[in-house]
C-alpha cells in the first residue's frame, strides 16, 4: 500500500516503539509511593521535561491527556466554565469556522447544553483567519467573550494561522486564547512561549508516537475547570492513572521529530510540490485548496478538488489501486456531507464533495508520489463517468 494519510495518523517511529515497549515491562502506577511507583513517576516527569523543552514551555505547563480530542474538550469546556463562574455574562465562545470537530462540536455542545453563545470567525478563500476579522468579532462586545480558539494549522487544507497575532488581540481584551496545534507540531516550529497562547493542544500519534496519549499545555495561573474528577493527577486538571508507556513514547517521538524538523520540512515541501505539480499535469481541471506552497502551508499537505467527482468514489478507487488517502479529517470519515472547511472558504458544495487530502509524513518517499501519479488520471476519469451517470439517474 501507498500511504498518503499521515495527517490522520503516522506510523510510530522506532525510537517511540523502543521507549513504549521498554516501559510496558514492569511499569507501576506513577501515583504509587513504593519504589516501582517512584520509578514510573520519574519516567513521567523526565518525559514531561523533555516535551516542555522541545515545545518552549515549562514542565509545569504540560498536562498529559488521552489525546488531542480530550485536550481540546478540556481547554474549551474548562475555560468556558471557569470564566462563566467568575462572570456569568461571559458566554460568547469565538472559534474559527474551519476548526477541527473536536473544537467545533465541543463549542456547539456548550451552546446547546450550557448556555454558551457560539460564534464562528470567518476565513478567506485560503482558510486563513485575518486578525481584523477576529478583532471585529471581539469588539462587538468584549466583556461577554469567554474564550477564543483558533487552530495553529488546518487539519484539512494545511493553512497555517497567525497564532501569535491572534493571541495578542485576545490578550488586549483579557480573553484566554487556545490553539489546537495537533497538525502543526512536528511539521513546523511550535513554541508555546512564542505563540503567546494560554492553552495549546498536541497529540502523540501525529508525530510518530502512540495512539491514546496527548497533552494540553496550560499557562500557569490560568483557571480551568476539570471535566474528569478523581485522584487529582496533572495539577488536579486531569484526574486518572497516567499512561506511563504512552507518555514515554510521546516524549521520544517528540525529541526525534523536533531534531529532524528543519531537514524534514524541506524534504516534505519538495515532495508535496512534486505531488501537486504532477497530479495537476495528469488532471488539468483539478484545483489546489488552501494557502499556496510556502511558509503559510504545512509542508506535508496537498488538498485537491477534482470537479465532477465524488470524493468518496475517488478515495475507494484509489484504495483499490493501493493508494490510501482521505476526503478530509479522519474524525469525520463516513459522514456524507461536504467539508465544513471548504464551505467556509467559499467553495461550492458540489466542488467540496469532490476533494481529497494527500498528506505526507516521516515515512513518505518519492515512490509514494509515483504510485499516486500512475493511477490518478484513470481514477478521476472513472469517478467522473460515475458522477455523470448518477446525475442522469437523479434527473430521470
Torsion, Cα of 325, 302, 284, 291 (10° steps): 150
Q: Which of 287, 331, 343, 374 is catalytic?
A: 331
Closest CA to 75 of 206, 182, 189, 194: 182
Closest CA to 145 of 185, 114, 122, 177: 177
Residue with cell 461536504: 338
> In this structure, what are the phi and psi dihedrals at residue 179, rounded to the nearest 5 degrees?
-135, 135
Asked if 309 is an active-site residue, the reply is: no
User: Which CA distances in Å does 265 have to 7, 11, 58, 102, 204?
Assistant: 15, 17, 25, 26, 18
Q: How many CB atoms lie within 10 A of CB 374?
A: 14
- Measured CA to CA, the distance from residue 264 to residue 270 in angstroms comes to 10
Q: Assign residue 230 a region (left: φ > 0; alpha: ψ between -120 and 50; beta: otherwise).
A: left
By CB atoms closer than 10 A (0-12, 13-18, 19+), residue 164 is middle
Please report the beta strands in 143-283, taking only residues with DSSP state E, as ranges in sequence order. 145-149, 177-180, 199-203, 214-218
- Measured CA to CA, the distance from residue 8 to residue 328 in angstroms comes to 9
- Measured CA to CA, the distance from residue 340 to residue 155 in angstroms comes to 12
* Distance from the Cα of residue 217 to its chain's centroid: 15
Q: Which residues are catalytic?
A: 331
Amino acid at each position: 500500500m501507498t500511504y498518503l494519510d499521515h495527517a490522520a495518523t503516522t506510523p510510530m517511529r522506532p525510537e517511540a516503539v523502543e521507549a513504549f515497549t521498554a516501559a510496558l515491562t514492569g511499569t507501576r502506577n506513577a501515583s504509587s509511593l513504593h519504589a516501582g511507583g517512584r520509578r514510573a513517576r520519574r519516567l513521567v516527569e523526565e518525559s514531561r521535561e523533555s516535551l516542555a523543552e522541545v515545545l518552549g514551555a515549562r514542565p509545569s505547563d504540560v498536562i498529559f491527556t488521552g489525546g488531542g480530542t480530550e485536550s481540546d474538550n478540556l481547554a474549551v469546556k474548562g475555560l468556558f466554565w471557569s470564566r462563566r463562574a467568575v462572570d456569568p455574562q461571559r458566554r460568547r465562545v469565538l472559534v474559527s469556522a474551519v476548526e477541527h470537530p473536536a473544537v467545533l462540536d465541543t463549542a456547539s455542545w456548550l451552546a446547546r447544553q450550557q448556555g454558551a453563545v457560539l460564534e464562528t470567525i470567518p476565513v478567506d478563500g485560503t482558510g486563513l483567519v485575518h486578525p481584523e476579522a477576529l478583532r471585529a468579532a471581539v469588539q462587538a462586545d468584549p466583556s461577554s467573550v469567554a474564550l477564543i480558539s483558533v487552530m495553529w494549522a488546518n487539519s484539512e487544507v494545511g493553512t497555517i494561522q497567525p497564532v501569535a497575532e491572534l493571541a495578542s488581540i485576545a490578550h488586549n481584551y483579557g480573553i484566554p486564547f487556545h490553539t489546537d496545534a495537533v497538525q502543526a507540531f512536528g511539521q513546523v516550529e511550535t513554541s508555546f512561549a512564542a505563540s503567546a497562547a494560554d492553552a495549546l493542544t498536541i497529540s502523540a500519534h501525529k508525530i510518530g508516537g502512540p495512539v491514546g496519549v496527548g497533552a494540553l499545555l496550560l499557562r500557569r495561573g490560568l483557571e480551568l475547570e476539570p471535566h474528569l474528577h478523581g485522584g487529582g493527577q496533572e495539577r488536579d486538571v486531569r484526574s486518572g492513572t497516567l499512561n506511563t508507556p504512552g507518555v514515554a513514547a510521546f516524549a521520544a517521538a517528540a525529541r526525534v521529530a523536533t531534531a529532524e524538523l528543519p531537514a524534514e520540512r524541506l524534504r516534505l515541501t519538495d515532495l508535496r510540490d512534486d505531488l501537486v505539480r504532477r497530479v495537476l499535469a495528469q488532471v488539468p481541471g483539478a484545483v489546489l485548496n488552501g494557502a499556496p506552497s510556502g511558509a503559510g502551508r504545512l509542508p506535508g499537505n496537498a488538498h485537491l478538488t477534482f470537479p465532477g467527482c465524488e470524493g468518496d468514489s475517488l478515495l475507494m478507487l484509489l484504495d483499490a489501486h493501493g493508494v490510501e488517502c482521505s476526503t478530509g479529517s479522519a474524525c469525520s470519515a463516513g459522514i456524507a456531507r461536504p467539508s465544513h472547511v471548504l464551505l467556509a472558504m467559499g467553495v461550492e458544495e458540489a466542488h467540496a464533495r469532490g476533494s481529497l487530502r494527500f498528506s505526507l509524513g516521516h515515512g513518505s518517499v518519492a515512490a509514494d508520489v509515483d504510485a499516486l501519479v500512475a493511477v490518478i488520471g484513470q481514477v478521476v476519469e472513472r469517478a467522473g463517468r460515475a458522477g455523470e451517470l448518477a446525475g442522469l439517474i437523479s434527473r430521470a
